[in-house]
Structure 1
């Protein structure tokens, strides 16, 4: 055993350092579903800044100290409070916000979001099936993003009003009618946030023989 440790000590040191780096500072996250379409699509791999908000002990949810507060509009990875699965969504509500959704329109602190630039889309959900939808620019609380709706899909299009508790956040997927977000899993405590997703590292078409989407490589996540 000593001979093996001595022979491979540099490789062991490298992988230990790599593991600490990935669990403490930076990470990457594959996108397995369409819940963040059109911002992120299946087959994207995103870069995640694990120290965007808190410096945590490796392999734990224990924060050593807070660095910055998450903001509305941030795209974040986190552990689901419902079943422990890692998810990626957008923060739409921060502590103290009053949120409501009326017939798909998001309200933040009594002010409705504005929706512009409507475009009809057809989303491919399998190699031989597509579903009609609409893509729009959503302006809400001094931030904007592109979201989409699919009227044929059964979804929760109304909720609230509700107040976001202290040290918690309300998440929505940009694909509003196909996302298991805070409408279903509840508020997300800050301790369960993993990090902020900021760029697409790589992308491949999982429904088309994993052909690379080179135009998405290195794109910022807005």
Structure 2
């Protein structure tokens, strides 16, 4: 055993350092579902900055230091407060915000978001099966993003008003009618945030022969 450790000591050191780096500083996250379409697609692999908000003890949710505050509009990875599964969504509410949704229109602190640039789409929901949808630009809180709706899909289109508690956040998927987000899992405590997803590292069409989407490599997540 001792001779084996000596022989492979550099490889062991490398993988230990790599493990610490990935669990405490930076990470990548594959996108398995369409809950963030059209911003993120199934088969995207996103880069995640684990020290965007907190410096944590590796392999734990224990924060050693707060480095910055999450902002509305940030796309983040986090552990679901419902079952611990890692999710990726967009922050739409920060501590103290009052949120509600009326017939899919998001209201933040009494001000409704605006929607423009509507575009009809066909959204895949199963192999060989699509449903009609609409892709729009949503503007709220001096920021904007592209989201989509699927009117024929059953979803929660009204809630609130609710107030975001201290040290918690309200998440929504950009694919509003196909996302298991804070409408269903509740507020997300800051300690469960993993990091800020900021760029697409690589992308492949996992639903269609795994062809690479070269145009998405290195693209920023807006």
Q: TM-score, normalised by structure 2?
A: 0.99
Counterpart in 2 of 1:192?
A: 192
Alpha-carbon separation, structure 2, partners of 1:2 and 1:173:
51
Q: Secondary structure at the match of 1:60?
A: coil
Report if the CA contact (8 A) 1:99-1:106 is conserved.
Answer: yes
Counterpart in 2 of 1:90?
A: 90
Counterpart in 2 of 1:62?
A: 62
Counterpart in 1 of 2:165?
A: 165
Alpha-carbon separation, structure 2, partners of 1:194 and 1:186:
17
Counterpart in 2 of 1:45?
A: 45
What's the CA shift for 1:162?
A: 0.5
Aligned residues: 222
Gapped regions of structure 2 (runs ≥ 5):
none
Q: TM-score, normalised by structure 1?
A: 0.99
Residue correspondence of structure 1 range 1-222 to structure 2 within 5 A: 1-222=1-222
What's the CA shift for 1:124?
A: 2.0
What's the CA shift for 1:117?
A: 0.3
Alpha-carbon separation, structure 2, partners of 1:15 and 1:159:
46
Alpha-carbon separation, structure 2, partners of 1:108 and 1:200:
28
Alpha-carbon separation, structure 1, partners of 2:70 and 2:59:
21
Alpha-carbon separation, structure 2, partners of 1:200 and 1:120:
25
Q: Any runs of at least 4 consecutive aligned residues in structure 1 with deviations exceeding 6 A, and if so which?
A: none
Q: Secondary structure at the match of 1:191?
A: helix
Alpha-carbon separation, structure 1, partners of 2:113 and 2:160:
15
What's the CA shift for 1:125?
A: 2.5
What's the CA shift for 1:43?
A: 0.4
RMSD: 0.5
Q: Secondary structure at the match of 1:92?
A: strand
Report if the CA contact (8 A) 1:126-1:207 is conserved.
Answer: no
- Once the two structures are superposed, residues 59-118 of structure 1 have per-residue CA deviations (whole angstroms, 9 ceiling, x without a partner) of 000000100000000000000000000000000000000000000000000000000100
Alpha-carbon separation, structure 1, partners of 2:40 and 2:128:
21
